[in-house]
Structure 1
Amino acid sequence: MTRAAGRGRVRIGVSGWRYARWRGDFYPRGLPQRRELEHISMAFPTVELNGSFYSLQRPDSYRRWADSVPEDFVFAVKGSRYVSHMLRLRNVEQALANFFASGVLALGPRLGPILWQLPARQRFDADVLASFLDGLPQTTAEALALAERHDERLKDRAWLEIDADRPLRYALEPRSDTFAADSSLRLLQDHGTALVIADTAGKWPRFDALTADHVYIRLHGAQMLYHSAYTEPELREWAALIRGWADGTGAADGKPRDVYVYFDNDARGHAPHDARALIDLVAEASS
């Protein structure tokens, strides 16, 4: 989607792209799996890369993904669960160095927001969150300097190059309502980190506070987590919210924001169809 005057850019896509259920449905029958990302990039301006959550990916994978999409395509990258779920945001400098050395920076201008999803058991702790946010590099040059401190596990597979120094964006998806505390919101605002607005069929709390110059939305399903499709009225509600955040009319401060939206209701193949429908509705609402 293009950016209108006085309006943030809206990018709507899906979380991941390797789903057997999509083959012969969203993906044309007979499409080689190696071309699925290319197909995604023709339909959407962004995708959430979630394999990076489960394990460190390799630089050649990031380079291949970047080469498979148009120049203005953006990857949101899900941060390592080793950082978020195992270390629980504590003592993470080495893990962050390894994460940034693993090839994330090979995406170059196609690198979008980096998402940190927390486990439901993780409660807000001001000292822990402040220390974590303080340690996140704010530019690709800072990320490169951190990546250069990777450990021996990445000795022969580190990517230590950038094509330009660019600002980095972050989003945090907590699943404990303790993160609604004013002190939590202030920390996120001070660090320019978006508090994820997540629709989770009521399983986890939904946060609506705008804490950065961008908005990050994850749509996991309104009725059944990961499984249910979105109805047209539900999508129209999201389209109206997205339009308000993008043009500033839906923000208390009146400031337009870039908006990133990812559908994660992929279990029954609904995500790409819902994403396409929402793109059309946002365009309709903005015309």
Structure 2
Amino acid sequence: MAGRIRVGIGGWVYEPWRGTFYPAGLRQKDELAHVGQHLTATEINATYYSSQKPATFAGWAKAVPEGFRFAVKASRYCTNRRVLAEAGESITKFTGQGIAELGDRLGPILWQFMATKKFDPDDFAAFLKLLPASVDGVPLRHALEVRHDSFADPAFLAMARDAGAAVVFADHDEYPAIIGHDVGFAYMRLMRTQAEEPAGYAPAAIEGWADRARSQAQVGDVFAFFISGAKERNPAAAQAMIVALK
């Protein structure tokens, strides 16, 4: 059965979106609801920097419609460390902070690693074993964003596949575009939007991302996020891709 394709942006609080993506005069507390009306997913970035309260996650879930999904960026204390095998306590704290309150609005967990982090097979294998399959009865899906060329290694790809974790495909000037095995869902981060393009990417490029998503959706859900680059263009890029998918 084909999966669903969800397209979004990073976060929802960004001043340059006010008066462009967000209508002039829209209250800041209504911005997430606006995202929910016009896009189908967003990444929560605040969780990368600090813990949030369960009530906060519950409020976010209520602000968006059925079918919308939040990808949750894992705490930097889990991934920005020399020995990943020692991340257990941080992972438990992150997953236990209240993300289960998102319920059926919860998408994948994004585990982002610094560009200087190299592939250490033993250490990374130990890290993957620390990732829980669920929290408070809510199933978890894990996506790994690695940014060093050493991860373009069949051993890493097999390790991620065996753990059921997706390897994030990154469109970026410096990070490697690593393609992982099929694990039932796919995750793309598209980071080269340009200010001179009204929709961030040229129309042909948007169509190309839509085609890629359609192909991946044949085997599972797809999450595509327009991140960084010319950030002011990212909502327009996401909306253009949603139109291209129709």
Give 1:17's aligned residue.
12
Q: In structure 2, what is the Cα distance between the partners aligned to 1:93 and 1:234?
A: 40
Q: In structure 2, what is the Cα distance between the partners aligned to 1:268 and 1:197?
A: 19
Which amino acid is 2:220 matched to?
A: R
Give 1:208's aligned residue.
179
Give 1:257's aligned residue.
220
Contact 1:189 1:212 (C-alpha < 8 Å) held by counterparts: yes
Structure-1-length-normalised TM-score: 0.81
Give 2:166's aligned residue.
194
Contact 1:88 1:122 (C-alpha < 8 Å) held by counterparts: no
Q: 1:86–1:10: structure 2 CA closer, same or farther, 3 Å change rule?
A: same
Q: Of residues 171, 187, 200 in structure 1, which corresponds to 2:143?
A: 171
Which amino acid is 1:61 matched to?
A: T
1:118-267 equivalent positions in 2, closer than 5 A: 118-140=113-135, 162=136, 165-200=137-172, 202-221=173-192, 229-247=200-218, 256-265=219-228, 267=230
* Structure 1: gaps (5+ residues): 1-5, 141-161, 248-255
Contact 2:133 2:139 (C-alpha < 8 Å) held by counterparts: yes
2:240 maps to 1:269:
no
Spell out, residue by residue over 1:81-130, the C-alpha distance to the aligned partner (whole angstroms, 9 max, x if none): 11111355231111111112222111112111000010011101111111
Question: Secondary structure at 2:23's aligned position in 1?
Answer: coil
Spell out, residue by residue over 1:148-174, the C-alpha distance to the aligned partner (whole angstroms, 9 max, x if none): xxxxxxxxxxxxxx4xx3421000000
Spell out, residue by residue over 1:34-88, the C-alpha distance to the aligned partner (whole angstroms, 9 max, x if none): 0000000001121111111111122221121112112322110000011111355
- Number of aligned residue pairs: give it: 243
Which amino acid is 1:234 matched to?
A: A
Structure-2-length-normalised TM-score: 0.93
Contact 2:17 2:232 (C-alpha < 8 Å) held by counterparts: yes
Q: In structure 2, what is the Cα distance between the partners aligned to 1:190 and 1:271?
A: 33
Q: 1:177–1:222: structure 2 CA closer, same or farther, 3 Å change rule?
A: farther
RMSD: 1.7
Report the structure number with the largest CA radius of gyration.
1
Spell out, residue by residue over 1:228-251, the C-alpha distance to the aligned partner (whole angstroms, 9 max, x if none): 92111111111111111112xxxx
Q: In structure 1, what is the Cα distance between the partners aligned to 2:156 and 2:231?
A: 35
1:28 positional shift: 0.3
Q: Of residues 27, 31, 37 in structure 1, which corresponds to 2:32?
A: 37
Q: Of residues 72, 78, 85 in structure 2, which corresponds to 1:83?
A: 78
Contact 2:158 2:181 (C-alpha < 8 Å) held by counterparts: no
Q: In structure 2, what is the Cα distance between the partners aligned to 1:190 and 1:23?
A: 43
Which amino acid is 1:55 matched to?
A: S
Q: In structure 2, what is the Cα distance between the partners aligned to 1:126 and 1:208?
A: 18
Contact 1:74 1:110 (C-alpha < 8 Å) held by counterparts: yes
Greater shift, 94-103 or 11-20, is seen at 94-103
Q: Percentage identity across aligned positions?
A: 39
Give 2:241's aligned residue.
278
Q: In structure 2, what is the Cα distance between the partners aligned to 1:72 and 1:240?
A: 21
Q: 1:268–1:91: structure 2 CA closer, same or farther, 3 Å change rule?
A: closer
* Structure 2: gaps (5+ residues): none
1:222 positional shift: 5.5
Bigger relative CO (Cα 8 Å, ≥ 6 apart): 2
Contact 1:199 1:222 (C-alpha < 8 Å) held by counterparts: no
Contact 1:78 1:115 (C-alpha < 8 Å) held by counterparts: yes
